Amino acid sequence: MVGREKELSIHFVPGSCRLVEVRESALASPVGAGSPRGQASGARVAFRAYPARVGASGQACSHRHPPCTGSEGGATEFVYLVAHGSSVFSSSHCGRKQEEVNIPNRRVLVTGATGLLGRAVHKEFQQNNWHAVGCGFRRARPKFEQVNLLDSNAVHHIIHDFQPHVIVHCAAERRPDVVENQPDAASQLNVDASGNLAKEAAAVGAFLIYISSDYVFDGTNPPYREEDIPAPLNLYGKTKLDGEKAVLENNLGAAVLRIPILYGEVEKLEESAVTVMFDKVQFSNKSANMDHWQQRFPTHVKDVATVCRQLAEKRMLDPSIKGTFHWSGNEQMTKYEMACAIADAFNLPSSHLRPITDSPVLGAQRPRNAQLDCSKLETLGIGQRTPFRIGIKESLWPFLIDKRWRQTVFH
């Protein structure tokens, strides 16, 4: 499936319909002098569509289609004329006689597309000439497909309907303390669903990128290379490691991408263990204890998204691109140092922040320093790093309480 040159994939929303079957045949007359109006060189594609929750493009079609009617669950046949990667709309269901629809012929499916990393990955592919479809669960509609990854039938159908070249698996239970308290649910998502996704990806020839974590290491002997033996300290790290094994056992051509603590353009501060500190930074009238023991490497989600896209594009040219990879920011900071850097970026006081150098005693055990060696990807020419001060300012300014500071920070 990887490397297919031309493919039609059009999803209707207002109706709402999506592609379920494609049939192709050669046209008798090419476009040119004497060609009948409305015909085009290329393939004649007829497909059946049926009501769906949301279009795979994630965007509503501008045409007002009537509800689909017909046999087999309300399926209706539409006909498109395809030429050179675009299509000419010729269905009688639309008031417009002709309209070219440019559709990228590279398709990517992003799981967890409603999350911090998933949103960035979906955006990165979409903005670089990929047909990107995102799926989520509770927050999926209306932008993304709603898919329960624990439902193997639902996973099978979206993958076989969309036929992606690449799947980026961002969905996971990423909160260590939640995993400790809900081990069975976390294992189902982080391990079982990942293994099933890998199996379905292999069935259609899709390249799967499984997002893993630096928490697969115990943090006693950094920096860690891809071939170093993992030794997770907490259940979260164990589920991510078991997820890696499930993926690679079910899909020999898959890739595992281990990453550290993330931040980026959050919808709420609690989405990231980095941005969640902003309120403590801003409320300078109250002292705040900040961890100054664990060494972290905060990484912008847009950098990880870029790595995923670059890895996917290299794989489409070179099938030997597979296995385990590491990516991370290169600025070593404790949470206390991050908080001070955030305060400095917004010209806020930091004297109320108190560094705590003792090892945390509450919650899941964390590795002291799980720094990742990223030289394997760097050697491939893959990678991007956003300086923390720049990235954190971009991410947090909408949550700045004192709006007067915006004049000094951004002007």
Tell me the per-residue pLDDT of 104-159, one tens digit each, with 9 for 90 and over: 889 999 999 999 999 999 999 999 999 999 999 887 778 898 999 999 999 999 99
Least confident of 75-84, 103-112, 142-151, 265-274: 75-84
Question: How far is the C-alpha of 147 from the C-alpha of 152, rounded, in Å?
Answer: 10
| Residue 333 near residue 341 (C-beta atoms within 8 A) | yes
Mean pLDDT, to the nearest integer, of 322-334?
98
At residue 339, what is the residue type? A
Average pLDDT over residues 255-281: 97
Give the pLDDT mean for 329-344.
98
Is the pLDDT confidence value at 264 over 60? Answer: yes
Report, as an integer, the average pLDDT of 218-245. Answer: 97
For residue 251, pLDDT over 70 is answered with yes
* CA–CA gap between residue 387 and residue 298 (Å, rounded): 10
Closest CA to 369 of 292, 276, 301, 304: 292
238: its two tokens:
């164990």
Q: How far apart are CA 95 and CA 123, in angstroms?
A: 31
Residues across the chain: 411
Contacts of 140 (CB under 8 A, 6+ apart): 54, 113, 114, 134, 146, 147
- H helix runs in 97-169, sequence order: 116-126, 152-162
- The mean pLDDT value for 325-332 works out to 98
Which three-class secondary structure string do you get for 243-257? HHHHHHHHCCCCEEE
Say how far apart CA 2 and CA 105 lie, in whole Å: 10
Phi-psi region of 38 (alpha: psi -120 to 50; beta: other; left: phi over 0): left
Contact between 260 and 296 (Cβ < 8 Å): yes
Cβ atoms < 10 Å from Cβ of 398 = 10
Write out the two tokens for 328. Answer: 């991370």
- Mean of all residue pLDDT scores within the chain: 80
For residue 135, give the DSSP letter.
Answer: E
How far is the CA of 33 from the CAs of 29, 36, 39, 88, 308, in angstroms?
A: 10, 9, 11, 18, 45
DSSP bridge partners of 77: 48
Using N-to-C axis directions, what is the helix angle for 193-204 and 152-162, rounded to 10°?
A: 30
